[in-house]
Amino acid sequence: MTIPDYRSGIGFDSHALGAGRRLVLGGVTVPYDRGLVGHSDGDVLVHAIMDALLGAANLGDKGQHFPSGDAQYRDISSLLLLAQVGDLLAADGWQVANVDATMLAQKPRLGPFIPEMQEKTAAALALPPARLSVKVTTTDYLGFVGREEGIAALAVASIFRYG
């Protein structure tokens, strides 16, 4: 009998909010007067998920695979990078069991966008949306998130393989 190998990983990301940028979270453009400053699209939700998956598989982190100094990743959709992370895991025999992610944002209100974020991030990993949870909370005006200086996200991912 073959016993599955289960692993879990944690990912975290945060970016400052800045003028002249689109706010992209979970691959969804959210109407807001500022966006996340980053080399790619700054999608903290997807970045946290990527690091959780890579960590679970012991494949390093997103910075190793997609360095911010590399021009090919300038303003790239983080969903494209998430799909590549999914391919890396599959090539190593891993399957994603589930992902649970939480965004920390004082403003804007993100609740109405969560179903689309969930669908898009799950699709990038070829997962049913029910296996990828997306949530949002505020920090009750505490810290950089509470002062509306940035947005953060954290994620936990579980993966498995046989053999």
In SS3 terms, 42-57 reads as CCHHHHHHHHHHHHHC
Q: Which tens digits make up the pLDDT trace of 101-124? A: 999 999 999 999 999 999 999 999
Q: Which tens digits make up the pLDDT trace of 116-161? A: 999 999 999 999 999 999 999 999 999 999 999 999 999 999 999 9
Domain boundaries, the chain: 4-162
Q: Are 73 and 81 in contact (CB under 8 A)?
A: yes
CATH number assigned to the domain with residue range 4-162, chosen from the 4 options 3.40.50.720, 3.30.1330.50, 3.20.20.370, 3.40.30.10: 3.30.1330.50
Longest dimension (CA), the chain: 57
Q: How many CA atoms lie within 13 A of 130 on its CB side?
A: 0
In this predicted structure, the answer to whether residue 163 has a pLDDT above a threshold of 80 is: no
